[in-house]
């Protein structure tokens, strides 16, 4: 890999941060520990179309919101598939699997309940979260240390305006040998509970993608919850949802998790 990692600021408002990382050289996991942790944890996967990784609105801001509710949150800055990695389009999944194993083995945060660790992803990060949930048992790398004997399968997943679920739409995923996996078709009765959220006016990722995933989950008898808001567009994260009905989405997710015994 010859590209240089770079952090860019996309916001034109000096009071609002909207940073993104290009050409991630080394994956990083940033942990936000609550003042009163409830023992649960969520791996947060920001979006960026697999061309970049968004840091603020879908990363740190989401983690801070979860931490205020007692949930340990870990934001993963993952490698991107077109940056020349030997693993190709599996590079982000390798990083997500490793991050989940580190969380479950108490390597990055202590006193976590290994049966209450989930994943939440936005857009391309939502695709990565779905891949971790539905394809995460596939071995994509050799063991690094003892943490890799633990499971990379999340106990629950949240897909926020998730992209490419049907296996199409991302050039970064479609290049190379074979077709990208249809994750909707991968749903079966053993799939973990999944929370989905989308805006009907999303012109980047059609809401039908989340609807199809929900339908597949219900057909398989998997506990699932879908929220569709009339407006919000794409990429609202936390900051851009402010003042709109969709800003309640973190509360909906936390309520859903508590109802399923994942959060306390």
What per-residue confidence (pLDDT) applies to 172? Answer: 58
Considering its fold, how many domains does the chain have in total? Answer: 1
- Joined tokens for residue 209: 């993608």
31 belongs to a structural domain: yes
216 belongs to a structural domain: yes
56 belongs to a structural domain: yes
142 belongs to a structural domain: yes
Name 198's Cβ contacts closer than 8 Å, sequence gap at least 6. 160, 161, 205, 207, 209, 210, 211, 226, 227, 228, 229
Q: How far apart are CA 159 and CA 123, in angstroms?
A: 8
The tens digit of pLDDT for each residue in 47-58 reads: 999 999 999 999
Q: How far apart are CA 137 and CA 129, in angstroms?
A: 13
The tens digit of pLDDT for each residue in 13-50 reads: 887 888 999 999 999 999 999 999 999 999 999 999 99
The tens digit of pLDDT for each residue in 205-264 reads: 999 999 999 999 999 999 999 999 999 999 999 988 989 999 999 999 999 999 999 999
How does strand 53-54 pair with strand 194-199? unpaired
CATH code for the domain in which residue 199 is found: 3.40.50.1820
Name 232's Cβ contacts closer than 8 Å, sequence gap at least 6. 199, 201, 202, 240, 241, 244, 245, 246
93 belongs to a structural domain: yes
The tens digit of pLDDT for each residue in 246-263 reads: 999 999 999 999 999 999
108 belongs to a structural domain: yes
264 belongs to a structural domain: no
What per-residue confidence (pLDDT) applies to 173? Answer: 58
Q: How far apart are CA 238 and CA 68, in angstroms?
A: 14
Name 144's Cβ contacts closer than 8 Å, sequence gap at least 6. 98
1 belongs to a structural domain: no
Q: What are the E-state strand segments in the chain?
A: 6-9, 19-22, 28-32, 41-45, 53-54, 72-77, 117-122, 157-160, 194-199, 224-229
pTM exceeds 0.85: yes
What per-residue confidence (pLDDT) applies to 107? Answer: 84
Angle, in degrees to the nearest 10, between helices 61-68 and 249-259: 50
Range of the domain at 204: 6-259
- Joined tokens for residue 210: 């989340």
């Amino acid at each position: 890999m010859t590209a240089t990692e770079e952090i860019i600021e996309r916001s034109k408002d000096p009071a609002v941060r909207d940073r993104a990382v290009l050409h991630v050289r080394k994956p990083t996991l940033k942990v936000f520990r609550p003042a009163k942790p409830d023992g649960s944890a969520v791996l947060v996967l920001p979006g960026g179309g697999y061309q970049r990784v968004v840091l603020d609105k879908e990363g740190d801001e989401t983690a801070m919101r979860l931490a205020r509710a007692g949930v340990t949150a870990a934001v993963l800055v993952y490698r991107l598939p077109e940056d020349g990695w030997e693993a190709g389009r599996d590079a982000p999944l390798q990083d997500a699997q490793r991050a989940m194993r580190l969380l479950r083995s108490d390597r990055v945060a202590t006193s976590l309940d290994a049966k209450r660790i989930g994943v939440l992803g936005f857009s391309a990060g939502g695709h990565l979260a779905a891949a971790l949930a539905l394809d995460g048992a596939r071995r994509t790398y050799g063991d690094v240390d003892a943490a890799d004997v633990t499971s990379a399968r999340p106990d629950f997943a949240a897909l926020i305006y998730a992209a490419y679920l049907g296996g199409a739409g991302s050039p970064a995923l479609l290049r190379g040998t074979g077709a990208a996996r249809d994750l909707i078709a991968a749903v079966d009765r053993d799939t973990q509970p999944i929370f989905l959220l989308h805006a009907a006016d999303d012109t980047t990722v059609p809401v039908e993608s989340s609807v199809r995933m929900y339908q597949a989950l219900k057909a398989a008898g998997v506990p699932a919850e879908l929220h569709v808001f009339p407006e919000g567009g794409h990429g609202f994260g936390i900051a851009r949802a402010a003042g709109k009905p969709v800003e309640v989405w973190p509360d909906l997710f936390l309520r859903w998790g508590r109802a399923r015994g994942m959060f306390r």
